[in-house]
Structure 1
Amino acid sequence: MATIRWPLTVRRVHKWLALFVGLQVLLWTLTGFYMVVVHIDTIHGDHLVKAVPVATIPTSGLIPPARVGAIGATEVRLQQRLGMPVWRVQTEDGVSAYDARTGARLSELTEAEVRRIAADLYSGDARIVRATRLTTPVQELGKRKPPYWQVEFAGWNRPTLYIAPLTGELVAKRHLLWRVFDFAWMLHIMDYDTRSDVNNPLLRVATWSAFAMAISGAWLLLWSFPKRKKKAKA
């Protein structure tokens, strides 16, 4: 029966594991470095919008939400749209908005109104490049369902605000550093589809392969020390 030459076997295993998962380990290092170096508040784009104080909305003279069909709704919220108090009603069929003073159902904001809202929210002084009403999902908004307005501003980092078409709410803020982070996150967790599954099979295989590569490398390192001592004595 042939004797297993463990050093040779482990070296081969280590080599093939390094070839298989070495690139991913490098990607883990580079993407992890980016995610640590760039502050998370910068990634979130907090600097893109002004710090707006919470507005106090007087409730006197407003109609109750029950009169606008809010019975059975999953969420009812009083908020402002261009300075006007509105009831935002969320149902299983979607979102609707009503004038809180008259009860009239509101239509969607016009492009001009959306541009005005975005310009008021934006903390910079760059001009608006384009405003587009989207009806199909975009990758950078994840699971958020359209429609929403995409308002892009001029600048190297392509600052973009997403505005809700009915209520004028800020849905999300995106820019180049966020998009780089999102791409780095995709590479880091190895979820090339939804970019959200941190426990997918591909990541598990790569993680255990990297662990085996590290263990085999550590074994080879420890095994090499006695061998060097014997050579020194000879």
Structure 2
Amino acid sequence: MSLSTLRHTGTAGTKHSISLLLQTLHKWLGLIVGLQLLIWVVTGLAFNLIDERFLDANPYRTTDKTASPNTALAPTADLLQQYQAEGIIELKLTSVLSRAVYALTTTQQTRWFWADSLKPLSLTNTEILAIAKQSYSGSAELSTPQILSRETPFDANGPVAMLTAADEVGTRIYIDTASGAVLAHQNRQSDLKDLLFMLHFMDYAPDNGIGFNHLLVQVVSIATLLLGLSGIYILGHKFHQGQLSLPFLKRKIPKGKLALFTQAAQPLAEFTDLNGTYLESINRGRERLRTQCGGGGRCGLCKLRFVEQPPSPNDYDLDKLTATELAQGIRLGCQHEAHPGKLELATQAQHRDWSQSER
């Protein structure tokens, strides 16, 4: 084999290595992006097919009622003077269990005081239970308040108390013990809704907040871009190697004769209908060269030696053939379009199968 041919084979091997690397990358990127795409489709269908009322977190939540204070209000001058150094922003009058409450907001924090005594708001379990009952319209009994030690997604100013109701949806009520505010109602059905939202928006990290442009979204976006670019390269590479053809571009069938010889250079057969690959042209009418993959380039059984000007090896040739075989001009017959020329069988098994096919 000439030096230029060896160099060409070496270049093909380098391109083959790059192609294999990109195909591996493309496969794993396709798995990652495809899995997330499947999750988007499934969760999107779930949101459209499941009745919104089934996912409602508030089937038993009553409308917040702001009762008018029924107690005398203490003067606020001393309270304002006490926290003036922090920079007072707002003093607001509200109520908890029909008892007036001052909400004092400074540049540092918000504090709540009973408006009739100016004492800091401090709720007992009985009062927390009463607040929960005011927000609940169901008939089930509520449990004793439980102070949660874990972090919660609620914007609370103090410890969060949770109460549960033994109803059919498993209602849970969350109370901010610092202000007496009802933070949320949740249940088993709303948990399903939260799960669907988490999967749909890839909101797997608890500190993402409400932003959709978090790190995981960025990673999947980059993976999708790389998936497309690697796919374009692989498509172009396969088209260049002749492994793909466009249906609207009709291939011109070459005219001439393909002569096939034995390994000992003895004439074996001649073919003039060169439509398709060498394997297809030789096996047209009956199977003369046996394969296990049917011409998919996976079994490597259709080896043929090109006596003159072997075609450039493609990825399948480089996968299934040794460097010695490539140097001898051996290629896979299923991977190259048939043209007039001279070929030889490459293995003794092919001679044996050929003899059996002629009987």
**Smaller-chain TM-score bracket:** 0.7 to 0.9
- The superposition leaves residues 125-154 of structure 1 with CA deviations (integer Å, 9 ceiling, x where unpaired) of 1211341123x3434x25545312111111
Matched residues in 2 for 1:41 and 1:76: separation? 39
- Which residue does the alignment assign to 2:246? 226
* Residues 213, 130 of structure 1: alpha-carbon distance in 2 compared, 3 angstrom cutoff: farther
- Which residue does the alignment assign to 2:312? none
* Residues 91, 178 of structure 1: alpha-carbon distance in 2 compared, 3 angstrom cutoff: farther
Is the partner of 1:198 in helix, strand or coil?
A: coil
* Residues 200, 54 of structure 1: alpha-carbon distance in 2 compared, 3 angstrom cutoff: same
TM-score between the two structures when normalised by the length of structure 2? 0.50
Say whether the 8 Å CA contact 2:33–2:220 is kept in structure 1.
Answer: yes
Give 1:189's aligned amino acid.
F
Matched residues in 2 for 1:35 and 1:143: separation? 26
* Residues 96, 192 of structure 1: alpha-carbon distance in 2 compared, 3 angstrom cutoff: same
1:21 aligns with 2:41: no
Greater helix share, structure number: 1
Aligned-residue offset at 1:105: 0.4
1:73 aligns with 2:79: no
Task: Give the 5 Å matches for 1:9-158.
Answer: 15-37=27-49, 45-57=57-69, 62-69=73-80, 71=84, 72-91=87-106, 94-100=109-115, 102-134=116-148, 136-139=149-152, 141-142=153-154, 144-158=156-170
Say whether the 8 Å CA contact 2:74–2:118 is kept in structure 1.
Answer: no
Aligned-residue offset at 1:77: 1.9
Aligned-residue offset at 1:199: 1.8
**Identity level (%):** 24
- The superposition leaves residues 1-22 of structure 1 with CA deviations (integer Å, 9 ceiling, x where unpaired) of 55779xx889776544322322
Larger radius of gyration: 2
Structure 1: gaps spanning 5 or more residues: none
Q: Which structure would you say has the larger RCO, counting Cα contacts within 8 Å and 6 or more residues apart?
A: 1
1:205 aligns with 2:216: no
Say whether the 8 Å CA contact 1:148–1:163 is kept in structure 2.
Answer: yes
* Residues 12, 94 of structure 1: alpha-carbon distance in 2 compared, 3 angstrom cutoff: closer
Matched residues in 2 for 1:121 and 1:41: separation? 19
* Residues 214, 180 of structure 1: alpha-carbon distance in 2 compared, 3 angstrom cutoff: farther
* Residues 164, 103 of structure 1: alpha-carbon distance in 2 compared, 3 angstrom cutoff: same
Is the partner of 1:17 in helix, strand or coil?
A: helix
Aligned-residue offset at 1:83: 1.0
Structure 2: gaps spanning 5 or more residues: 1-7, 254-274, 276-359
Aligned-residue offset at 1:178: 2.8
